[in-house]
């Protein structure tokens, strides 16, 4: 049994008509005429315009519009429905919404884990307020670091408060000494600052 597209093409060629001429006389857009004959279902207009255009096209070619429309529906109704279903299933199903939600949740969680990992493994911030005068036998060394870090000054453990502030009075035994301040994160990453006194 012939398909509707083949019947339309045969009738058009028998009458030696081109698409442009038919489009002008029927007011059917050129792209739809070509789509009907080439079976480009994705280019078909939506209903009810599609059926009306096919019937008008068939009538213009001297065919029985109603009969050809029945053939056309037989040929294309099911593929069109399937095509529409394939095209939009993802936006209509709860499964897609659930999958999208889970994927988004996984991305957010992974981003959080990565940021926490990088934060945990980065060297701690360390800022020292070095005294201007080292001529005395005792100097106060103070500074700020991450609150969770541990601080040592010349291997003496120093208390760090909740804001990350610390200070210690240090005895200077010689005219030439080195002060080493070390901040260690919970992950064991160390930041060191030192000053040599002369």
Q: Are residues 134 and 77 in the same domain?
A: no
Pairing of strands 138-145, 150-153: unpaired
Question: What's the mean pLDDT when you consider all of the chain?
Answer: 83
Beta bridge pairs of residue 144: 127, 165
Q: At what angle do helices 65-92 and 4-14 cross, to 10 degrees?
A: 130
In a domain, 49, yes or no: yes
pLDDT score of 192: 93
Last residue of a domain, one of 92, 110, 141: 92
pLDDT score of 176: 59
Residues 6 or more apart in contact with residue 156 via CB below 8 angstroms: 168, 170
In a domain, 98, yes or no: no
Three-point CA angle 150, 152, 155, nearest 5°: 140
- What whole-number distance in Å separates Cα of residue 99 and Cα of residue 88? 16
CATH of the domain at 31: 1.10.260.40
The count of domains in the chain is: 2
CB burial readout 58-94, b (16+ within 10 A) else e: bebbebebeebbebbeebbeeebeeeeeeeeeeeeee
Range of the domain at 151: 126-197
Q: Are residues 81 and 132 in the same domain?
A: no
Q: Are residues 8 and 82 in the same domain?
A: yes
Each residue's pLDDT expressed in tens, for the chain with a length of 198 residues: 678 888 888 888 888 888 888 888 888 888 888 888 888 878 788 888 888 888 888 888 888 888 888 888 887 764 444 444 444 444 557 788 888 899 999 999 999 999 988 888 889 999 999 888 777 778 889 999 999 999 999 889 999 999 999 999 988 776 557 889 999 998 889 999 988 876
pTM: 0.42
In a domain, 67, yes or no: yes
Contact between 50 and 68 (Cβ < 8 Å): no
pLDDT score of 89: 46
Q: Are residues 87 and 145 in the same domain?
A: no
């Amino acid at each position: 049994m012939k398909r509707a597209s083949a019947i339309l093409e045969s009738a058009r060629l028998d009458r030696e008509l081109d698409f442009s001429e038919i489009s002008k006389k029927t007011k059917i857009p050129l792209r739809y005429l070509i789509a009907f004959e080439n079976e480009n279902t994705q280019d078909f207009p939506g209903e009810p315009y599609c059926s009306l255009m096919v019937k008008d096209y068939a009538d213009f070619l001297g065919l029985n519009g109603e009969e050809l429309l029945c053939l056309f529906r037989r040929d294309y109704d099911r593929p069109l429905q399937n095509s529409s279903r394939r095209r939009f299933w993802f936006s209509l199903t709860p499964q897609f919404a659930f999958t999208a939600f889970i994927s988004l949740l996984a991305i957010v969680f992974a981003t959080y884990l990565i940021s926490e990992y990088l934060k945990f493994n980065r060297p701690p911030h360390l800022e020292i307020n070095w005294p201007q005068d080292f001529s005395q036998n005792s100097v106060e060394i103070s500074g700020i670091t991450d609150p969770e870090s541990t601080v040592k000054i010349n291997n003496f453990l120093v208390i760090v408060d909740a804001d990350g502030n610390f200070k210690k009075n240090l005895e200077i035994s010689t005219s030439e000494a080195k002060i080493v301040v070390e901040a260690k994160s919970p992950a064991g990453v160390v930041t060191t600052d030192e000053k040599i006194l002369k």
